[in-house]
Amino acid sequence: MIVLKFGGTSVENAAAIDTVVRIVQREQHRQPVVVLSAIAGATNTLIKAAHLAQEGDHEQAIRLMNGLLERHVVILENLLESRSVIQLLILEIRRRFDELKLLCQGITLLGELTNRSLDAIASAGERLSTQILAEALAERGMPVKLVDARSFMITDDHYTSAAPRFGEIQSRIDADLRPALQSGNIILTQGFIGSTSKGITTTLGRGGSDYSAAIIGAALEAEEIQIWTDVDGILTADPRICPDARKLKVISFREASELAYFGAKVLHPSTILPAVQKNIPVIVLNSRKPDSTGTLIVSNPPKSNIPVKSIASKKGITVINIQSTRMLMAYGFLEKIFAVFDKYKTPVDLVTTSEVAVSVTIDNSSCLADIVADLSLAGDVLVYEHKGIVCIVGEEMQSTAGIADRVFRALRTTNVMMISQGASEINMSLVLNEEDIEAAVKYLHAEFFPVSQTGEILETVHHETGR
């Protein structure tokens, strides 16, 4: 069994979906489960419409919904052969959009948008795209079974970032998905969406289809998990920042999870965990080049001569600095500080300490005011917003001398606010002003991946910048 996950750009139009169909056909003999995202941009549009509805701009919300409806209709008409199937599907899709518009109307009337309603709306993209792909696969004679992910992807009720309930998911997948696969069906299901045990729709957080694929792959103990996207694999940097980024042929699970966590959008940060637990290789591939080899992510890749494998970055970081002379020679101070972040369920990314100060970074500042109020009881608190993190990652960094020197030489003109290295030994993270992030990534990329550099795991690729 294998899992094939296709992201939004892999289904952005009829031609792209046609390629997906061919890839699935090619892998048919390996008992594939296909996990699908919404068509490119659909989730953004749905969420935007919901917010417009809440702000009272019902007209604009409906306009967005109609535009999205039209995109789905155009795809159907260009993808499928049978006129009668097209007509039926258009009717069905119109009915779905009527429901979505009703939901928007309700939101406008109440002037309130709960995360639960947001999930009900945001989940529509995946429900629509899978219905279209199911018809396309069936029309090409493939034995496809469309399974609603909400029947097995059971989560808690943390709407918009629900946590999977692994035990329940495992037993439902064993009871339903596994037998259906074994009797020769190609299973097609939605990424990103799930359901509480009471049957209310949830989502796993933005970009969550990768996570869905990994959860399903782990539950089925799949041979491999293929993540099909719009770039050649995991690259030495985001190609939108560094057009000369190169493809890595193989990297470790640890490297991939650090990269994902620190902003490489190519994988959802939680994707790797279920795969690691079952030691299932993950391959990132380009659906625009179905014959390319992609990047293989495994637990123990061969040692490489390249100390730094990739550079990731994220913006929207807040730095909180807590100073107190009471910290001097005292104990229990850090415990008090971390208890505050725990209380407000806000994860801390980086931490640096001195004898009288602690600095931490967070990327979710929704409880910032409360956090600052509570921390003020422990010391003087300073908050710096609009920061970013640049992170360099590589297993062999630990055994290579001179990396820090190269980092600081590359960033000699950049103001670095915080540095963190050590905890995982395979990453070094720097906090900078948000506006300096792109330049810093470029400087570091030029330093660690000069055009002349070669290495067995690096491959120069030509990027078609689709967006």
Report the interface residues with ligand ADP, using CB under 6 A. Answer: 7-9, 37, 207, 229-231, 234-235, 237-240, 264-266, 310
**Nearer CB in complex with Mg ion: 207/301:** 207
239 binds, among ligand ASP, ligand ADP, Mg ion, none (CB under 5 to 8 A by kind): ligand ADP
Distance of CA 269 to the CA centre of its chain: 6
Residue 54 Cα distances to 43, 111, 113, 114, 361, angstroms: 17, 5, 6, 10, 31
- Closest to ligand ASP by CB, 7 or 194: 7
* Residue among 8 and 274 whose Cβ is closer to ligand ASP: 8
Q: How far is the CB of 196 from ligand ASP (least distance, A)?
A: 19
Nearer to ligand ADP, 126 or 135 (CB): 126
Q: How far is CA 84 from CA 87, 88, 119, 135, 144, in A?
A: 5, 6, 32, 12, 19
**Is residue 209 a contact point for ligand ASP (CB under 6 A)?**
yes
The site string for ligand ASP over 73-112 (x = CB under 6 A, - otherwise) reads ----------------------------------------
Q: Is residue 324 within 8 Å of 379, Cβ to Cβ?
A: yes
- Burial string for 431-456 (b: 16+ CB within 10 Å, else e) reads bbeeebbbebbbbbbebbbeeeeeee
- Which residue minimizes CB distance to ligand ASP? 209
Instruction: Give the residue with the Cβ less far from Mg ion, 248 or 397.
Output: 248
Which stretch in 37-45, 70-78, 245-253, 406-414 sits in contact with ligand ASP by CB under 6 A?
A: 37-45
Nearest-CB residue for ligand ADP: 7
Instruction: In angstroms, give the least distance from the CB of 19 to ligand ASP.
Output: 17
According to CB under 6 A, which one of 9, 10, 31, 37 is a site residue for ligand ASP? 37
Nearer to ligand ADP, 4 or 89 (CB): 4
Query: Dihedral (C-alpha) 116, 317, 46, 123: value to the nearest 10 degrees?
Result: -50
Task: Please give the residues from 282 up to 301 whose contact with ligand ASP meets the rule CB under 6 A.
Answer: none
Task: Report the nearest approach of ligand ADP to the CB of residue 117 (Å).
Answer: 24
Q: Closest CB to ligand ASP among 208 and 301?
A: 208
Say which DSSP state 30 is in: G
Contact between 233 and ligand ASP by CB under 6 A: the answer reads no
**Which DSSP category does 234 fall into?**
S
Q: Is residue 191 involved in binding ligand ASP (CB under 6 A)?
A: yes
Query: Binders of ligand ASP among 120-139, rule CB under 6 A?
Result: 125
How far is the C-alpha of 302 from the C-alpha of 290, rounded, in Å?
25
How buried is residue 388: exposed, middle or buried, by Cβ count under 10 Å (0-12/13-18/19+)?
buried
How far is residue 89's CA from residue 135's CA, in Å, rounded to a whole number? Answer: 9
Q: Closest distance between Mg ion and the C-beta of residue 229, in Å?
A: 7
- From ligand ASP, Mg ion, ligand ADP, none, interface partner of 240 (C-beta below 5 to 8 A by class): ligand ADP
Among 125, 207, 263, 394, binds Mg ion (CB under 5 A): 207
Q: With respect to Mg ion, which residue has the nearer C-beta, 101 or 288?
A: 288
Nearer to ligand ADP, 368 or 439 (CB): 439
Task: Please give the helix or strand (H or E) that residue 33 lies within, else none.
Answer: strand 32-36
Tokens read off for 66: 């109609």
Token couple for 110: 């109440």
- How many CB atoms are closer than 10 A to CB 460? 10
Q: Is 391 helix (H, G, I), strand (E, B) or coil?
A: strand
Phi, psi of 277 (to 5 degrees): -60, -30
How far apart, in whole angstroms, are the C-alpha atoms of residue 149 and residue 43? Answer: 17
Q: Which of 6, 7, 64, 169 binds ligand ASP (CB under 6 A)?
A: 7
Window contacting ligand ASP (CB under 6 A); options: 100-108, 204-212, 224-232, 424-432: 204-212
- The DSSP H or E segment spanning 383 is strand 380-393
The residues pairing with 202 across neighbouring beta strands, listed in sequence order, are 194
Neighbouring C-alpha atoms within 13 Å toward the C-beta of 106: 12
9 binds, among Mg ion, ligand ASP, ligand ADP, none (CB under 5 to 8 A by kind): ligand ADP
Residues that bind Mg ion in the complex, under the rule CB under 5 A: 7, 207
Residues that bind ligand ASP in the complex, under the rule CB under 6 A: 7-8, 37-38, 43, 125, 191-192, 206-209
